[in-house]
Amino acid sequence: MIEARAVGIRIGRADLLTEVSLRVARGEVLALVGPNGAGKSTLLRVLSGDLPPTTGDVLLAERPLRAFPPEDLARARAVLPQEASLRFAFSALEVALMGRAPHAARSEGPDDLRIAREALRRVGLGAHEARIYTTLSGGERQRVQLARVLAQLPPTDTAGPRCLLLDEPIASQDLAHQHRVLRIAREEAERGAAVILVLHDLVLAAQYADRIGVLSRGHLVAEGSPADVLTPDLLRDVFSVVAQILKAPTAPGHPLVFVETDDI
């Protein structure tokens, strides 16, 4: 569905990304992890089409991203950026409805309203549609933006590409909402989307992602199933921590990470 082929980003004399190749199919969730400044957000920007790669190519449904007119791209993939800067007093519902803009030719109809309301309900803000965005808490704002992004996704029965890119979607969320948001990512994959998300929490990444990609200094240094990728060696090399990998007693498939020390 979405594929990066030997993507490189060079700004000035700095290589932000080098030869990154990955592929996420319909129904899959890939979590990108890595230390601060490793290039996770840069990679997401390349995959979303914001940043044209210096070398290599990004393909969506086997078609280069740059060949998509902006309107078509907006109907095929939705992106949640890390920080939102909205400072105007729209209601939560009005913000969620903006996600329908690529699909509604002139003005939004009853279907769009239904989809936007459903998206707000899924992020746990169904009862808050009339609240003014600027008066919401940071976590609530982030979930309103997520609702907007969910409303933007094409219908599940679409034949075309359906891709969801989330940059640190749980950065401002409490424990319950972290799981709620990640469950939504999982659901979207089950409904036929290719999902890529940037996460810092390795345990949550292991629990919700099919595969984990580890970025370090612009290189994709490991990529595979959580159990294969999360090893003490990798955590030492990439994050400079001494860690044990444990297994959850009731869910042995999910590795847990216990950090002993970062003093190495």
Write out the residues near another protein by the rule CB under 8 A.
Answer: 48, 50, 70-75, 78-79, 81, 84-91, 94-95, 98-99, 101-102, 107, 130, 134, 148, 152
The least distance separating another protein from the CB of residue 68, rounded to whole angstroms, comes to 10
Pick the closer one to another protein by CB: 4 or 230.
4
CB of 69 or CB of 252, closer to another protein: 69
Residue 23, classed as helix, strand or coil, is strand
Would you say 194 or 243 has its CB closer to another protein?
194
Query: CB of residue 192 vs another protein: minimum separation in angstroms?
Result: 20
E strands, the chain, are 2-11, 14-24, 29-33, 55-60, 63-64, 77-80, 163-167, 194-198, 211-216, 219-224, 242-247, 255-261
Q: How far is the CB of 253 from another protein (least distance, A)?
A: 34
The pair of three-digit structure tokens given for residue 209, joined into one six-digit string: 């992602």
Nearer to another protein, 107 or 250 (CB): 107
Rounded Cα distance between 96 and 13, Å, is 40
* Least Cβ distance, residue 44 to another protein (angstroms): 11
Q: How far is the CB of 78 from another protein (least distance, A)?
A: 7
Q: Is 14 helix (H, G, I), strand (E, B) or coil?
A: strand
For residues 131 and 92, give the distance between their C-alpha atoms in angstroms, rounded to a whole number. 6
Using CA atoms, how far apart are residues 245 and 203, in angstroms rounded to an integer?
10
Nearer to another protein among residue 70 and residue 252 (C-beta): 70
Give every CB contact of residue 101 below 8 A, 6+ residues apart in sequence: 74
